[in-house]
Chain A
Amino acid sequence: MKILIVDDFSTMRRIIKNLLRDLGFTNTDEADDGNTALPMLKSGKYDFLVTDWNMPGMTGIELLKHVRADDNLKTLPVLMVTAEAKRDQIVAAAQAGVNGYVVKPFTAAVLKEKIEKIFERIQ
Protein backbone atom coordinates (compact mmCIF):
# COMPACT_ATOMS: atom_id res chain seq x y z
CA MET A 1 0.00 0.00 0.00
CA LYS A 2 1.69 3.19 -1.23
CA ILE A 3 0.28 6.47 0.08
CA LEU A 4 0.93 10.08 -0.94
CA ILE A 5 0.48 12.76 1.74
CA VAL A 6 -0.07 16.31 0.44
CA ASP A 7 0.06 19.28 2.82
CA ASP A 8 1.94 22.57 2.66
CA PHE A 9 2.97 22.31 6.34
CA SER A 10 5.75 19.78 6.97
CA THR A 11 4.62 19.31 10.59
CA MET A 12 1.14 18.23 9.47
CA ARG A 13 2.65 15.84 6.89
CA ARG A 14 4.78 14.40 9.66
CA ILE A 15 1.79 13.95 12.00
CA ILE A 16 -0.21 12.16 9.30
CA LYS A 17 2.81 10.06 8.34
CA ASN A 18 3.22 8.97 11.98
CA LEU A 19 -0.46 8.16 12.37
CA LEU A 20 -0.43 6.15 9.14
CA ARG A 21 2.63 4.26 10.35
CA ASP A 22 0.78 3.37 13.56
CA LEU A 23 -2.01 2.01 11.37
CA GLY A 24 0.54 -0.17 9.59
CA PHE A 25 1.07 1.94 6.47
CA THR A 26 4.80 2.52 6.22
CA ASN A 27 5.19 3.22 2.51
CA THR A 28 4.41 6.95 2.31
CA ASP A 29 5.64 9.86 0.24
CA GLU A 30 5.07 13.58 0.74
CA ALA A 31 4.27 16.57 -1.47
CA ASP A 32 3.71 20.19 -0.47
CA ASP A 33 0.97 21.12 -2.93
CA GLY A 34 -1.09 19.86 -5.89
CA ASN A 35 1.46 20.97 -8.46
CA THR A 36 4.11 18.76 -6.87
CA ALA A 37 1.68 15.95 -6.11
CA LEU A 38 0.07 15.50 -9.53
CA PRO A 39 3.21 14.41 -11.45
CA MET A 40 4.11 12.09 -8.55
CA LEU A 41 0.64 10.52 -8.72
CA LYS A 42 0.88 10.12 -12.49
CA SER A 43 4.19 8.26 -12.37
CA GLY A 44 4.22 6.76 -8.88
CA LYS A 45 1.54 4.02 -8.74
CA TYR A 46 -0.02 5.23 -5.51
CA ASP A 47 -2.88 3.35 -3.85
CA PHE A 48 -4.19 6.16 -1.69
CA LEU A 49 -4.06 9.97 -1.53
CA VAL A 50 -4.36 12.06 1.64
CA THR A 51 -4.55 15.77 0.87
CA ASP A 52 -5.06 19.12 2.54
CA TRP A 53 -7.33 21.69 0.83
CA ASN A 54 -5.74 25.08 1.36
CA MET A 55 -2.29 25.10 -0.24
CA PRO A 56 -0.35 27.59 -2.35
CA GLY A 57 -0.10 26.63 -6.00
CA MET A 58 -2.66 23.94 -6.67
CA THR A 59 -5.22 23.43 -3.91
CA GLY A 60 -6.44 20.03 -2.71
CA ILE A 61 -9.85 20.34 -4.36
CA GLU A 62 -8.19 21.19 -7.69
CA LEU A 63 -5.89 18.21 -7.24
CA LEU A 64 -8.94 16.02 -6.55
CA LYS A 65 -10.61 17.27 -9.75
CA HIS A 66 -7.43 16.58 -11.75
CA VAL A 67 -7.25 13.08 -10.29
CA ARG A 68 -10.88 12.33 -11.14
CA ALA A 69 -10.40 13.66 -14.68
CA ASP A 70 -7.37 11.44 -15.35
CA ASP A 71 -8.22 8.01 -16.79
CA ASN A 72 -5.36 6.31 -14.94
CA LEU A 73 -6.06 7.95 -11.59
CA LYS A 74 -9.81 8.39 -11.45
CA THR A 75 -10.42 5.40 -9.14
CA LEU A 76 -7.70 6.45 -6.67
CA PRO A 77 -9.20 6.75 -3.16
CA VAL A 78 -8.80 10.30 -1.85
CA LEU A 79 -9.11 11.39 1.78
CA MET A 80 -9.25 15.10 2.46
CA VAL A 81 -7.74 16.22 5.78
CA THR A 82 -8.33 19.94 6.06
CA ALA A 83 -9.27 22.93 8.20
CA GLU A 84 -11.85 23.95 5.57
CA ALA A 85 -15.14 23.72 7.43
CA LYS A 86 -17.73 25.48 5.26
CA ARG A 87 -20.70 23.31 4.43
CA ASP A 88 -20.65 24.23 0.74
CA GLN A 89 -16.97 23.25 0.59
CA ILE A 90 -17.72 19.81 2.00
CA VAL A 91 -20.57 19.45 -0.50
CA ALA A 92 -18.21 20.57 -3.29
CA ALA A 93 -15.60 18.01 -2.23
CA ALA A 94 -18.27 15.28 -2.18
CA GLN A 95 -19.44 16.30 -5.64
CA ALA A 96 -15.84 16.29 -6.89
CA GLY A 97 -15.63 12.66 -5.76
CA VAL A 98 -13.79 12.70 -2.44
CA ASN A 99 -13.89 9.37 -0.54
CA GLY A 100 -13.58 10.81 2.95
CA TYR A 101 -13.40 14.19 4.66
CA VAL A 102 -11.62 14.78 7.96
CA VAL A 103 -11.76 18.26 9.44
CA LYS A 104 -8.80 19.61 11.40
CA PRO A 105 -8.14 19.45 14.28
CA PHE A 106 -8.64 15.70 14.20
CA THR A 107 -7.84 12.70 16.40
CA ALA A 108 -5.95 9.53 15.53
CA ALA A 109 -9.18 7.58 16.04
CA VAL A 110 -11.08 9.67 13.48
CA LEU A 111 -8.32 9.32 10.88
CA LYS A 112 -8.21 5.57 11.47
CA GLU A 113 -11.99 5.22 11.20
CA LYS A 114 -12.20 7.17 7.93
CA ILE A 115 -9.31 5.29 6.33
CA GLU A 116 -10.77 1.92 7.34
CA LYS A 117 -14.18 2.95 6.01
CA ILE A 118 -12.66 3.92 2.66
CA PHE A 119 -10.85 0.60 2.31
CA GLU A 120 -13.92 -1.36 3.40
CA ARG A 121 -15.92 0.24 0.64
CA ILE A 122 -13.26 -0.48 -1.97
CA GLN A 123 -12.88 -4.15 -1.09
Chain B
Amino acid sequence: MSNNNEDHTGLDPEAIEKLRSQASELMEQVNAGNYARAMSLISDLGDVRDQSLYREVGRLTRSLHEAIRNFQIDPRNAEQQEALSKMTDASDRLEYVVQMTGKAANRTMDLVEETMPKAMALKDQASAFRDDWLRLRRREMAPEEFRDLYGRLDSFFVSLAEEADTIYGNLSEILLAQDFQDLTGQVIQKVTTLVKEVEDHLLNLVVMASHVDQLTGTVHELEVQEESPDKGHGPQMKAAERADVVSGQDDVDDLLSSLGF
Protein backbone atom coordinates (compact mmCIF):
# COMPACT_ATOMS: atom_id res chain seq x y z
CA MET B 1 0.00 0.00 0.00
CA SER B 2 1.40 3.35 -0.88
CA ASN B 3 0.75 7.03 -1.06
CA ASN B 4 -1.26 7.21 2.11
CA ASN B 5 0.53 10.34 3.18
CA GLU B 6 0.27 12.04 -0.17
CA ASP B 7 -1.73 15.23 -0.46
CA HIS B 8 -4.92 14.13 -2.20
CA THR B 9 -5.99 17.30 -3.88
CA GLY B 10 -6.85 15.23 -6.93
CA LEU B 11 -4.14 16.96 -8.95
CA ASP B 12 -0.49 16.04 -9.43
CA PRO B 13 2.24 18.70 -9.87
CA GLU B 14 2.42 18.03 -13.61
CA ALA B 15 -1.28 18.73 -14.02
CA ILE B 16 -1.02 21.88 -11.90
CA GLU B 17 1.86 23.12 -14.06
CA LYS B 18 -0.19 22.39 -17.18
CA LEU B 19 -3.20 24.25 -15.75
CA ARG B 20 -1.02 27.21 -14.86
CA SER B 21 0.47 27.54 -18.35
CA GLN B 22 -2.89 26.99 -20.05
CA ALA B 23 -4.56 29.52 -17.77
CA SER B 24 -2.03 32.21 -18.56
CA GLU B 25 -2.26 31.41 -22.27
CA LEU B 26 -6.05 31.64 -21.97
CA MET B 27 -5.71 35.14 -20.47
CA GLU B 28 -3.40 36.16 -23.29
CA GLN B 29 -5.74 34.83 -25.98
CA VAL B 30 -8.81 36.48 -24.39
CA ASN B 31 -6.94 39.80 -24.12
CA ALA B 32 -5.86 39.44 -27.74
CA GLY B 33 -9.47 38.84 -28.77
CA ASN B 34 -8.69 35.37 -30.09
CA TYR B 35 -11.89 33.73 -28.76
CA ALA B 36 -11.82 30.56 -30.86
CA ARG B 37 -8.41 29.67 -29.46
CA ALA B 38 -9.62 30.68 -25.97
CA MET B 39 -12.60 28.30 -26.20
CA SER B 40 -10.36 25.43 -27.24
CA LEU B 41 -8.06 26.22 -24.30
CA ILE B 42 -11.03 26.08 -21.92
CA SER B 43 -11.87 22.65 -23.26
CA ASP B 44 -8.21 21.58 -22.80
CA LEU B 45 -8.41 22.81 -19.21
CA GLY B 46 -11.42 20.58 -18.68
CA ASP B 47 -9.49 17.64 -20.12
CA VAL B 48 -6.63 18.20 -17.67
CA ARG B 49 -9.10 18.18 -14.81
CA ASP B 50 -10.81 14.98 -16.04
CA GLN B 51 -7.54 13.20 -16.72
CA SER B 52 -6.11 13.87 -13.26
CA LEU B 53 -9.38 12.74 -11.75
CA TYR B 54 -9.35 9.50 -13.76
CA ARG B 55 -5.73 8.95 -12.84
CA GLU B 56 -6.45 9.34 -9.15
CA VAL B 57 -9.51 7.08 -9.30
CA GLY B 58 -7.43 4.51 -11.17
CA ARG B 59 -4.67 4.70 -8.58
CA LEU B 60 -7.14 4.26 -5.72
CA THR B 61 -8.83 1.36 -7.48
CA ARG B 62 -5.47 -0.36 -7.92
CA SER B 63 -4.68 0.18 -4.25
CA LEU B 64 -8.04 -1.27 -3.28
CA HIS B 65 -7.46 -4.35 -5.43
CA GLU B 66 -4.03 -4.73 -3.89
CA ALA B 67 -5.49 -4.46 -0.40
CA ILE B 68 -8.06 -7.13 -1.18
CA ARG B 69 -5.45 -9.41 -2.80
CA ASN B 70 -3.13 -9.03 0.19
CA PHE B 71 -5.90 -10.09 2.51
CA GLN B 72 -4.87 -13.64 3.35
CA ILE B 73 -4.28 -15.62 6.47
CA ASP B 74 -1.01 -17.41 7.29
CA PRO B 75 -1.88 -21.08 7.31
CA ARG B 76 -0.27 -22.86 10.25
CA ASN B 77 -0.76 -26.45 9.24
CA ALA B 78 -1.82 -28.48 6.23
CA GLU B 79 -5.38 -28.98 7.43
CA GLN B 80 -5.88 -25.28 8.02
CA GLN B 81 -4.13 -24.44 4.80
CA GLU B 82 -6.72 -26.41 2.92
CA ALA B 83 -9.57 -24.92 4.87
CA LEU B 84 -8.23 -21.39 4.73
CA SER B 85 -7.15 -21.39 1.10
CA LYS B 86 -10.84 -21.64 0.23
CA MET B 87 -11.54 -18.43 2.06
CA THR B 88 -10.83 -15.54 -0.18
CA ASP B 89 -13.02 -12.80 1.13
CA ALA B 90 -13.89 -11.16 4.37
CA SER B 91 -17.43 -12.46 4.64
CA ASP B 92 -16.18 -16.04 4.28
CA ARG B 93 -13.67 -15.32 7.00
CA LEU B 94 -16.23 -13.87 9.34
CA GLU B 95 -18.51 -16.82 8.60
CA TYR B 96 -15.58 -19.01 9.67
CA VAL B 97 -15.41 -17.07 12.95
CA VAL B 98 -19.13 -17.62 13.53
CA GLN B 99 -18.70 -21.34 12.84
CA MET B 100 -15.63 -21.73 15.05
CA THR B 101 -17.18 -19.88 17.97
CA GLY B 102 -20.44 -21.78 17.53
CA LYS B 103 -18.60 -25.10 17.46
CA ALA B 104 -16.63 -24.22 20.59
CA ALA B 105 -19.75 -23.05 22.43
CA ASN B 106 -21.62 -26.25 21.53
CA ARG B 107 -18.66 -28.48 22.43
CA THR B 108 -18.37 -26.70 25.78
CA MET B 109 -22.08 -27.02 26.46
CA ASP B 110 -22.05 -30.73 25.49
CA LEU B 111 -19.34 -31.32 28.09
CA VAL B 112 -21.05 -29.18 30.71
CA GLU B 113 -24.36 -30.97 30.18
CA GLU B 114 -22.54 -34.29 30.49
CA THR B 115 -20.65 -33.24 33.63
CA MET B 116 -23.36 -31.49 35.65
CA PRO B 117 -25.49 -34.61 36.28
CA LYS B 118 -22.33 -36.48 37.35
CA ALA B 119 -21.50 -33.82 39.93
CA MET B 120 -25.13 -33.83 41.07
CA ALA B 121 -25.19 -37.65 41.39
CA LEU B 122 -21.96 -37.62 43.43
CA LYS B 123 -23.44 -35.00 45.70
CA ASP B 124 -26.62 -37.06 46.20
CA GLN B 125 -24.63 -40.23 46.91
CA ALA B 126 -22.33 -38.43 49.34
CA SER B 127 -25.20 -36.94 51.30
CA ALA B 128 -26.93 -40.35 51.48
CA PHE B 129 -23.72 -41.86 52.84
CA ARG B 130 -23.43 -39.04 55.34
CA ASP B 131 -26.88 -39.86 56.68
CA ASP B 132 -25.93 -43.53 57.00
CA TRP B 133 -22.64 -42.60 58.59
CA LEU B 134 -24.32 -40.44 61.23
CA ARG B 135 -26.70 -43.27 62.05
CA LEU B 136 -23.75 -45.61 62.38
CA ARG B 137 -22.00 -43.19 64.74
CA ARG B 138 -25.15 -42.89 66.83
CA ARG B 139 -25.14 -46.72 66.90
CA GLU B 140 -28.59 -46.83 65.29
CA MET B 141 -27.56 -49.25 62.57
CA ALA B 142 -28.33 -52.96 62.60
CA PRO B 143 -25.42 -55.30 61.71
CA GLU B 144 -27.17 -56.34 58.50
CA GLU B 145 -27.56 -52.75 57.42
CA PHE B 146 -23.92 -52.12 58.21
CA ARG B 147 -22.82 -54.99 55.97
CA ASP B 148 -24.87 -53.48 53.17
CA LEU B 149 -23.34 -50.06 53.79
CA TYR B 150 -19.89 -51.62 53.79
CA GLY B 151 -20.48 -53.09 50.34
CA ARG B 152 -21.99 -49.90 48.95
CA LEU B 153 -19.11 -47.80 50.27
CA ASP B 154 -16.66 -50.05 48.48
CA SER B 155 -18.29 -49.58 45.11
CA PHE B 156 -18.84 -45.87 45.82
CA PHE B 157 -15.10 -45.33 46.23
CA VAL B 158 -14.45 -47.06 42.91
CA SER B 159 -17.07 -45.04 41.08
CA LEU B 160 -16.01 -41.82 42.85
CA ALA B 161 -12.51 -42.16 41.39
CA GLU B 162 -13.90 -42.96 37.94
CA GLU B 163 -16.40 -40.10 37.96
CA ALA B 164 -13.81 -37.63 39.24
CA ASP B 165 -11.55 -38.71 36.37
CA THR B 166 -14.34 -38.12 33.86
CA ILE B 167 -15.15 -34.71 35.36
CA TYR B 168 -11.47 -33.75 35.30
CA GLY B 169 -11.20 -34.93 31.68
CA ASN B 170 -14.30 -32.99 30.65
CA LEU B 171 -12.95 -29.83 32.29
CA SER B 172 -9.66 -30.22 30.37
CA GLU B 173 -11.62 -30.60 27.14
CA ILE B 174 -13.61 -27.48 27.97
CA LEU B 175 -10.29 -25.70 28.43
CA LEU B 176 -9.09 -26.92 25.03
CA ALA B 177 -12.35 -25.93 23.37
CA GLN B 178 -11.35 -22.31 24.03
CA ASP B 179 -8.49 -22.57 21.49
CA PHE B 180 -10.81 -21.07 18.87
CA GLN B 181 -10.00 -17.65 20.30
CA ASP B 182 -6.48 -17.80 18.90
CA LEU B 183 -7.69 -18.63 15.38
CA THR B 184 -10.72 -16.36 15.32
CA GLY B 185 -8.63 -13.57 16.85
CA GLN B 186 -6.17 -13.79 13.95
CA VAL B 187 -8.94 -13.83 11.37
CA ILE B 188 -10.73 -10.87 12.94
CA GLN B 189 -7.49 -8.88 13.10
CA LYS B 190 -6.96 -9.50 9.38
CA VAL B 191 -10.48 -8.38 8.59
CA THR B 192 -10.04 -5.30 10.80
CA THR B 193 -6.86 -4.38 8.93
CA LEU B 194 -8.62 -4.74 5.59
CA VAL B 195 -11.56 -2.67 6.78
CA LYS B 196 -9.17 0.07 7.92
CA GLU B 197 -7.36 0.07 4.57
CA VAL B 198 -10.63 0.18 2.68
CA GLU B 199 -11.81 2.97 4.98
CA ASP B 200 -8.67 5.02 4.25
CA HIS B 201 -9.16 4.64 0.53
CA LEU B 202 -12.85 5.37 0.70
CA LEU B 203 -12.02 8.51 2.67
CA ASN B 204 -9.60 9.52 -0.11
CA LEU B 205 -12.34 8.92 -2.67
CA VAL B 206 -14.74 11.05 -0.65
CA VAL B 207 -12.16 13.85 -0.41
CA MET B 208 -11.63 13.63 -4.17
CA ALA B 209 -15.36 13.60 -4.81
CA SER B 210 -15.70 16.75 -2.73
CA HIS B 211 -12.99 18.39 -4.88
CA VAL B 212 -14.92 17.39 -7.97
CA ASP B 213 -18.07 18.86 -6.42
CA GLN B 214 -16.22 22.10 -5.69
CA LEU B 215 -14.87 22.28 -9.24
CA THR B 216 -18.23 21.58 -10.80
CA GLY B 217 -20.30 23.47 -8.22
CA THR B 218 -22.45 20.44 -7.35
CA VAL B 219 -24.48 20.55 -4.16
CA HIS B 220 -25.89 17.29 -2.82
CA GLU B 221 -29.07 17.08 -0.85
CA LEU B 222 -28.34 14.52 1.83
CA GLU B 223 -31.34 12.50 2.85
CA VAL B 224 -31.28 11.54 6.50
CA GLN B 225 -32.56 7.99 6.66
CA GLU B 226 -34.75 7.41 9.66
CA GLU B 227 -34.01 3.99 11.17
CA SER B 228 -36.93 1.96 12.39
CA PRO B 229 -36.87 2.05 16.20
CA ASP B 230 -37.85 -1.64 16.19
CA LYS B 231 -34.65 -2.61 14.42
CA GLY B 232 -31.97 -3.97 16.72
CA HIS B 233 -28.57 -2.31 17.00
CA GLY B 234 -26.67 -5.22 18.55
CA PRO B 235 -24.12 -4.85 21.32
CA GLN B 236 -23.02 -1.28 22.02
CA MET B 237 -19.35 -0.35 22.18
CA LYS B 238 -17.88 1.91 24.88
CA ALA B 239 -21.17 1.81 26.76
CA ALA B 240 -19.62 3.34 29.88
CA GLU B 241 -18.72 6.53 28.00
CA ARG B 242 -22.13 7.02 26.42
CA ALA B 243 -25.17 8.63 27.99
CA ASP B 244 -27.71 7.04 25.62
CA VAL B 245 -26.61 3.49 26.43
CA VAL B 246 -26.93 1.52 29.66
CA SER B 247 -23.68 0.12 31.03
CA GLY B 248 -25.12 -3.01 32.61
CA GLN B 249 -28.04 -4.70 34.30
CA ASP B 250 -28.00 -2.24 37.26
CA ASP B 251 -28.52 0.62 34.81
CA VAL B 252 -31.41 -1.26 33.17
CA ASP B 253 -33.02 -1.88 36.57
CA ASP B 254 -32.63 1.79 37.58
CA LEU B 255 -34.15 2.95 34.31
CA LEU B 256 -37.07 0.53 34.57
CA SER B 257 -37.76 1.43 38.19
CA SER B 258 -37.75 5.12 37.23
CA LEU B 259 -40.51 4.15 34.77
CA GLY B 260 -42.50 2.59 37.60
CA PHE B 261 -41.44 -1.04 37.11
Determine if A87 and B244 form an interchain contact, defined as CB atoms under 8 angstroms apart: yes
Q: Is the CB of B109 within 8 A of A54?
A: no
Query: Which of B106, B229, B248 contacts A14, CB < 8 Å?
Result: B106
Establish whether residues B233 and A61, one from each chain, have CB atoms under 8 Å apart when the complex forms: no
Interface size counted on chain B using CB atoms at 8 A: 26
- When distances are taken between beta carbons in the complex, the residues of chain B under 8 Å from A84 are 232-234
CA A37 – CA B160 in complex, angstroms? 44
Q: How many residues of A contact B (CB 8 A)?
A: 31
CB proximity of A35 to chain B, nearest CB, Å: 14
Stretch in B50-58, B71-79, B249-257 touching the partner: B249-257
Q: Is the CB of B245 within 8 A of A11?
A: no
CB-nearest residue of chain B relative to A11? B105
Residue of B232, B235, B261 with most partner-chain A CB within 10 A: B232
Contact B259 A106 (CB under 8 A): no
A48 at the interface (CB under 8 A from B): no
Nearest CB to that of B255 among chain A residues? A90
> A86, B244: Cβ atoms under 8 Å?
yes
**In the complex where A14-B109, A86-B244 touch, is A101 in contact with B252 (Cβ < 8 A)?**
yes
How far is it, in angstroms, between the C-alpha of A94 and the C-alpha of B252 when the chains are bound? 11
Q: Which residue of A lies closest to B104 (CB)?
A: A11
Sample of 13 A–B contacts (CB below 8 Å)? A10-B102, A11-B102, A11-B109, A15-B109, A53-B232, A59-B232, A82-B232, A84-B233, A85-B245, A85-B246, A88-B244, A103-B252, A104-B235
